Structure 1
Amino acid sequence: MNYNGERLKASLMAGLPTRMKSAGDYVGIPIPPCGDFGSTTSIGVIPPWMPSQQGKDSRLTLHEEIQLFMAYMKPTRDEVAMRKDLVARFIALIASFNAGATVRPVGSCVTGLYLPTSDIDMVLTFQSKRGYTRTTLASFEHKIRISGFSSKIVSVLQASVPLLRITDAITGIEIDLTESDSHAFEATRQVTKWMTATDTQLVKTLVLVVKLFLSIRRCGTTYTGGVNSYLLVWMVIAWVKLDMPTAQVRKVVDGGVDALAQAMEALSTTTTAGSAATPVSAGIQSSVSQTDLGTALIAFFKFWGSKFDYRYKGITFLPDPSYRSKVANYSQTYLLSIRDPADTTVDMGAKAYAIKHVKASFEEAYLILNRMANGDGKNPKGILGTVLGGNFSRFTEKRRMSLSMYTAKQKKARLV
């Protein structure tokens, strides 16, 4: 009987808050795509980063597919301008309230670890000390509602970190607004520092791929008991520092995504559907050696899916990344324990109650990737698309609509 596990899976897939704070152990279950990614229609099944000829003749390695994924997810110039405009408009809105408050972006908006449809984290800072955080945010909620800035506001004031989730009326992008406790700024600084001291591109790639993997399964927020983006960053950095040196991660000769696109175009005009599949990178002339992103992703899923000892081991980053003996939590020994470099008194995994479902999902992903990467990989969704799962039609539509509404606003402003 796995009552706790099944109950947590059901609430997680429904996008409901976790109720596992005092619950005991359970059996982890792989979580399937759900929410916006759970549609069963045929539209959106082929990932938007996959080339049209992929269904005819699979030639891409997992490394190459991840390169195409990153190129697709890279914000366009207009998308960057749209986000900057949104931040500027919200800063001006808060200033117009004359409440002695300023607001600043933090997190992925600053570090660059965001997907095109990701929300923006912002924090309020006051010139003088304020009272109760929930009361403060409630007063700002009322002012924002009557301003016309938002199309929707969700109050999450009873959470351990109270916040307002504000949907911009123009772009549809969400802002998560909290009151500053200084941690948000230090956390952003620590992520930037550690990324610079690590393999920045590798960390960014793994964070964005796994971030989408979790989002597709509604496992990417503390609200549902999942692994939030901040915790994920440190899981990636921990893997790079502690496991990657001994993992079977290869190097590849690589010319970058532009050379990959040129080679694919050349192959599409010279091959037939019956020809033998070879990696597209074989046609790239000018290249450099870099980490094989495919074997890195496989090793990451293997480490967190089956290799790491959650029950007895914890991880700390100061003074250097290392394993440590885990402080026992006798009712919930299954929880992940990683000390926050921005505040070593904080255990970042303490509220990730769905970690065993995340672990089971990672293990399933490892098995799928390992099998497909060693096979012929002939699948119109590709290797990465298959392991991510889900339907991307709503994702692509949300991305398109945000930019469309922003562009319409810009055109209207120029006519005034």
Structure 2
Amino acid sequence: MPPPAQPPQQPQQPHSMPRECLSAQTGLVPWQRQQLCISFFNSPTHCTPTAIVPLLSPTAPAACLPMQHSRAHLICRAHNRFTPTIALWEHFVGPHLPQRFSSTATAPAQHVLDNGPTTTEVVANVQEDNGAQQSETEAQQTIEKPSAGSAPHVRKMTTVKGRWLPEKAQVSIAKNKVAKHTRQEESLTGPEKLLATAREAFAQSKEYKGVVVQPMVSTIAIKESSLPWCLDKTARDKSAMDLLDKEIERFYKYAMPKDYERIARQHVIQQVRNHVKQVSPKYDVQVFGSERNGVAFATSDIDFRLMQPSWVADPAIDRLPPAKNEQARRLKVLLNLFHRIFKTHKSYFLSTLRHARYPLITAQDCNSGLDVQIVLSNDTSMSTAMMKHYMDEIPYLCRLYYVVKTIFSIRGLSDVFRGGFGSYSIFMMLVASIKHAPHERQDAAGALLNFLRFYRDFDTTKYGISIDPVELFDKTQHPVVTKPVKEKLDNGTMKPLPPYMLCLRDPADETNDLGRKGIAIKHVQATFAHLHSQLVDDIKKNTRPSLLGPLVGPSYMLNYKPREKLQDYGRRLQLEEQKTLAAKAKAIRDADKKVESDYKPMAPSQASIHSVESAKPFQKEQQIPAI
């Protein structure tokens, strides 16, 4: 079919066409509309109304569908001119394209925020077949849109990039919070890694570099001025050393067990005793360690010593480990307790059996959260007496011990099984520093400074420390070991300790080296150097809210939840005890009332009353004297 005649050329004007011209034309089947739009948009020039109108007619021939390029562009004279491109697209193509509403769209890096009603989605099925005409119902399929009354349900998904934030400032703040939280979580495992490095070097008889061990930090932060041992601004008109001494005293009062905590601890002690007696009635359970010595924290472990009454305390025997057959017999008893009580009883969890010089059971009480230890150890009465002697001799020793022990604990340096120092060793380290380097102030503040400086500068490779007598000795010439161990060292069957290990002679046992298990001594010395430098600087400035903050500050939030749980348990125990006592008192009162009612004299009858009244004149007559 020849192309239609070209109309006379007109000046080019902006192309437009009224919307009603397109919307009024109907009758095209879907394949004609699709072909019309494809041809229209493939054309390098815009379609003119003269080319559109024939195609909109239902009787338009097929040959007219491929639109011809026209150099002459007609102008639509309608008052509401509209671009034909947009008009054709909106009328024919747009309604038949698959669309996705916000109800099914996924936005990157977003959380699910909306819980509104879910809207359904029905998409028209547009078939691309060989020209077969679709049914009228298929042609009229549309997308069901959400109702105007309810907002569409938005599903915002979470991706690997995290939570979506609209502003850059919020993103920066969120990153800083995540980084801080990550550092706090890493601080909880940091000391373990450092101690593992020290143990590995010790096993290979190698040196290792001591580093500053940072304290474990709770994920919940608190201002330093809000610490319970921090002084008020009105009380800070003293010198820095006086403030430090006052803070040590306040920290000591804070760390000691409170009334409810003491009730809970005593209940756990009695509970363990009862359970052990049920399984092994021949054995006695004695409390020893910090609980017996009076230096226990609110959340300190409770140590029990399992022994028989026949085991008489003998200092000569207590220095040596028991014989092999005796060790096997005691271990059998301990295994029986472990499997019948601590591993199966509902009151305990995290129960383990550790094989050491003195085997022990460790477990945690479910209700209080306190850790308990059952040890097959020898008598420790000599050590207890020695600690009491030094606490009586040095008045500020006890409260200073609480500070120093906390310095070790919050840095993971007080676990003997991981290369740290135990409570008794820390206590004697403190006594040794006071004996060897007394401060002129003779108080806790001066002793704390001298303690950090003494072990910072002490040469552990050459000298050992003796408390009684107060002296330093050559540890290679005079090793602190038992006689059997010395024989093994002399004949080469046992390796000596690395030269960097601390040698501290136990005043209660001259053959006991209190530093032989402190593998982390290099980390301890590096940490003491850092803390001493910071404390001296804070004392010079005297502007810090708490001078003890860098030393023991994180302990408050680390122990907040455990102490809260312990206090709640002690409060419940006291209420239960009060209810029990009230019930007993009521039962006693009821029993007394019943006894009184049983022995109450009976009321006299009418006959007895009449006989008594009739006898009264006779009695009076008998009482009248004779004239």
Q: Per the shorter chain, which TM-score range?
A: 0.7 to 0.9
Task: Select the residue among 467, 472, 481 that pairs with 1:317.
Answer: 467
Contact 1:15 1:218 in 2 (8 A): no
Q: Does 1:404 align with 2:563?
A: no
Alpha-carbon offset, residue 211 of structure 1 = 0.4
Q: Count the aligned residue pairs.
A: 356
Question: 1 or 2, which has the higher strand percentage?
Answer: 1
245, 249, 267: which one pairs with 1:85? 267
Q: Give distance in 1, aligned partners of 2:374 and 2:497.
A: 33
> Are the counterparts in 2 of residues 222 and 228 from structure 1 also a CA contact under 8 Å?
yes
Structure 2 counterpart of 1:121, one-letter code = D
State the one-letter code of the partner of 1:349. Answer: G
337-346 vs 150-159, which deviates more?
150-159
Deviates more, 1:326-335 or 1:101-110: 326-335
Structure 2 alignment gaps of length 5 or more: 1-188, 312-325, 478-494, 581-627
Specify the alignment match of 1:113 in structure 2. 295
| 1:67 Cα deviation after fit | 1.8
Matched residues in 1 for 2:227 and 2:354: separation?
37
- TM-score, normalised to structure 2, is 0.52
1:346 aligned partner, one-letter code: N
TM (norm. structure 1) is 0.77
Q: Is the 8 A contact 1:316 1:338 kept in 2?
A: yes
Residue number among 33, 36, 41 corresponding to 2:220 in the alignment: 41
Deviation track 1:232-285 (CA, whole Å, cap 9, x = no partner) reads 1111111111211xx4x32xxxxxxxxxxxxxxxxxxxxxxxxxxxxxxxxxxx
Post-superposition CA distance 1:314-355 (Å, at most 9, x none): 12234x232211127876111100112232212111111001
C-alpha distance 136-17 of structure 1, shift in aligned 2 (>3 A): farther
C-alpha distance in 2 between matches for 1:388 and 1:228: 18
Aligned residue number for residue 170 of structure 1: 367
Change in CA separation of 1:397 and 1:334 when aligned onto 2, cut-off 3 Å: same
Aligned partners of 1:228, 1:112: CA distance in 2, in Å?
A: 16
State which of 335, 338, 358 in structure 2 corresponds to 1:138.
335
- For residue 518 of structure 2, the aligned residue among 319, 335, 352 is 352
Q: 2: distance between equivalents of 1:15 and 1:402?
A: 31
Report whether the alignment pairs 1:300 with 2:463: no
Amino acid at match of 2:370: I
The percentage of aligned residue pairs carrying the same residue is 24
- Corresponding position of 1:287: none
CA RMSD, 1 decimal: 3.0
Q: In the alignment, what sits opposite 2:436? A: 242
Paired with 1:120 and 1:366, the residues of 2 have a C-alpha distance of: 32
CA 94–46 in structure 1, closer or farther in 2 if over 3 Å, else same: farther
Structure 1 segments (4+ residues) deviating >4 Å:
12-17, 44-47, 51-60, 127-131, 328-331
1:189 to 385, 389, 393: 385
Give me the whole-angstrom Cα distance separating, in 2, the residues matched to 1:163 and 1:62.
39
Q: Does structure 2 retain, via aligned residues, the 8 Å contact 1:151–1:169?
A: yes
2:255 matches 1:104: no
Structure 1 distance, partners of 2:551, 2:280, is: 50
Partner residue, 2:192: 11
Q: Choose the corresponding residue for 2:547, options 367, 383, 407.
A: 383
Q: Which amino acid counterpart does residue 326 of structure 1 have in structure 2?
A: K
What residue is the counterpart of 1:335 in the other structure?
501
Bigger-Rg structure (1/2):
2
**Contact (CA 8 Å) 2:192, 2:412: kept in 1 or not?**
no
Aligned counterparts of 2:366 and 2:354: Cα–Cα separation in 1 = 22
How far does residue 53 in structure 1 lie from its aligned partner after superposition?
A: 4.8
State the AA in 2 paired with 1:192: K
The residue identity in structure 1 corresponding to 2:375 is: T
CA distance in 1, matches of 2:497, 2:190: 19
CA deviation vs aligned residue, 1:344-379 (integer Å, no higher than 9, x gap): 212111111001101111111111111101113234
Q: C-alpha separation between the residues in 1 aligned to 2:467 and 2:542?
A: 40
* Pair 93,86 (structure 1): closer, same or farther in 2 beyond 3 Å: same
Q: Compared with structure 1, are the counterparts of its residues 366 and 51 closer, same or farther at alpha carbon in structure 2 (3 Å cutoff)? A: closer
- Match status 1:219 vs 2:413: yes
- Which whole-Å deviations, capped at 9, do the CAs of 1:173-211 have from their partners, x for residues lacking one? 1112101222x3332222223333x21x32112211010
In structure 1, what is the Cα distance between the partners aligned to 2:252 and 2:562?
18
Does structure 2 retain, via aligned residues, the 8 Å contact 1:50–1:65?
A: yes
Q: Secondary structure at the match of 2:534?
A: helix
Q: How far apart, in 1, do the equivalents of 2:356 and 2:437 lie?
A: 34
Provide the secondary structure at the position in 1 that maps to 2:541.
coil
Cα deviation digits, residues 279-310 of structure 1 (max 9, x gap): xxxxxxxxxxxx3422221111111112x221
Q: Is the 8 A contact 2:338 2:353 kept in 1?
A: no
The one-letter amino acid paired with 1:334 is: Y
Question: Could you report, residue by residue, the CA deviation over 1:58-95 in whole angstroms, capped at 9, with x for unpaired residues?
Answer: 97721221122112123223333332232222222211
> Aligned partners of 2:402, 2:191: CA distance in 1, in Å?
25
Return the alpha-carbon distance in structure 2 between the equivalents of residues 193 and 12 of structure 1: 38
Closer/same/farther in 2, CA of residues 54 and 22 from structure 1, 3 Å limit: farther
Q: 1:55 to 1:32 in 2, by over 3 A?
A: farther
Distance of aligned partners of 1:215 and 1:412 in 2 relative to their CA distance in 1, 3 Å threshold: same
* SS in structure 2 at match of 1:28: coil
Report the Cα distance in structure 1 between the residues aligned to 2:234 and 2:212, rounded to whole angstroms.
27
Distance between the aligned counterparts of 2:236 and 2:385, measured in 1? Answer: 45
Q: Where do 5+ consecutive residues of structure 1 fail to align?
A: 1-7, 251-290
Matched residues in 1 for 2:196 and 2:297: separation? 20
* Cα gap change, 1:102 to 1:377, in 2 (>3 Å): same
CA separation in 1, counterparts of 2:422 and 2:337? 25
- Tell whether the 8 Å contact from 1:172 to 1:402 is kept in structure 2 after alignment: yes
**Which one scores higher on RCO, CA 8 angstroms, separation ≥ 6?**
1
Query: Using a 3 Å threshold, how does the CA distance of structure 1 residues 391 and 338 change in structure 2: closer, same or farther?
Result: closer
Aligned counterparts of 2:237 and 2:409: Cα–Cα separation in 1: 27
